[in-house]
Amino acid sequence: MSHLVETLIRPEIQALKAYDVPDATGLIKLDAMENPYRWPEALRDDWLAALREAELNRYPDPQARDLQAALREAMAIPPDMGVLLGNGSDELIQMLALAVAAPGEQTRADAAEAGGEALTNATSGRPTLLSLDPGFVMYRMIARFVGLEYVGVALSAADFALDLDATLAALEHHRPLLTFIAYPNNPTGNLFDPAVIERIIAASPGLVIVDEAYAPFTDASFLPRLGDWPNLLVMRTVSKMGLAGLRLGYLAGPADWIEQIDKVRLPYNINCLSQASATFALRHRDVLDAQTETIRSERDRLASALAELDGGQGRLEPFPSDANFILVRTRPGRAGALFTGLRERGLLIKHLDGSHPLLADCLRITVGTPDENAALLAALAALLDDH
Ligand code: PMP
Residue 48 domain-assigned (yes or no): no
User: Could you give the CA distance from residue 106 to residue 148 in angstroms, rounded to a whole number?
Assistant: 8
Same domain, 260 and 174: yes
Measure 215 CA to ligand 1 centroid, in angstroms. 11
Instruction: Indicate whether 188 and 129 sit together in one domain.
Output: yes
Would you say residue 49 lies in a domain? no
Same domain, 278 and 148: yes
150 & 259 share domain: yes
The DSSP string of 311-378 is: TTSSSEEEPP-SSSEEEEEESTT-HHHHHHHHHHTTEE-EE-TTSSGGGTTEEEEE---HHHHHHHHH
Residue ending a domain, among 283, 316, 335, is: 283
90 lines ligand 1 (CB under 6 A): yes
CATH number, domain with residue 270 = 3.40.640.10
75 and 189 housed in the same domain: yes
| Whether residue 309 is found in the same domain as residue 345 | yes
**Is the minimum distance from the CB of 211 to ligand 1 under 6 angstroms?**
yes
Structural domains of the chain, count = 2
| Residue 72, in any domain of the structure | yes
47 within domain boundaries: no
Same domain, 73 and 190: yes
Q: Which of 257, 283, 309 corresponds to the end of one domain?
A: 283
Distance CA 321, CA 336 (A): 22
Residues 63 and 186 placed together within one structural domain of the fold:
yes
pLDDT at 119: 29
With the most atoms of ligand 1 within 8 angstroms of its CB, the residue from 185, 186, 209, 350 to mutate is 186
Q: Is the CB of 184 under 6 A from ligand 1?
A: no
Which domain covers residue 33, as residue numbers?
Answer: 3-40+287-386
pLDDT value, residue 310: 83
Mutate to test the pocket of ligand 1, among 90, 95, 140, 274 (most ligand atoms within 8 A of CB): 90
Same domain, yes or no: 21 and 159: no
Q: What is the pLDDT of residue 117?
A: 42
Other CB atoms within 10 A of residue 24 CB: 13
Domain membership of residue 46 (yes or no) is: no
Shared-domain flag, residues 164 and 225:
yes
Query: In this structure, what are the phi and psi dihedrals at residue 180, rounded to the nearest 5 degrees?
Result: -105, 130
Q: Is residue 51 part of a domain?
A: no
Q: Does residue 126 lie in a domain region?
A: yes
**Does residue 82 sit in the same domain as residue 112?**
yes
Choose the final residue of a domain: 283, 311, 330. 283
Tell whether 120 and 217 lie within a shared domain.
yes
Complex prediction ipTM? 0.99
Provide block-wise average pLDDT over 10 residues at a time, the chain (387 residues).
93 89 95 96 95 95 97 95 98 97 61 47 73 98 95 97 98 96 98 98 97 98 97 98 97 98 97 97 96 98 94 90 97 95 98 94 98 98 84
CATH number, residue 7: 3.90.1150.10
For 150-155, the CB contacts below 8 A with 24+ separation are 151/123, 151/176, 154/358, 155/185, 155/188, 155/358
In a domain, 111, yes or no: yes
Residue 111: the pLDDT is 59
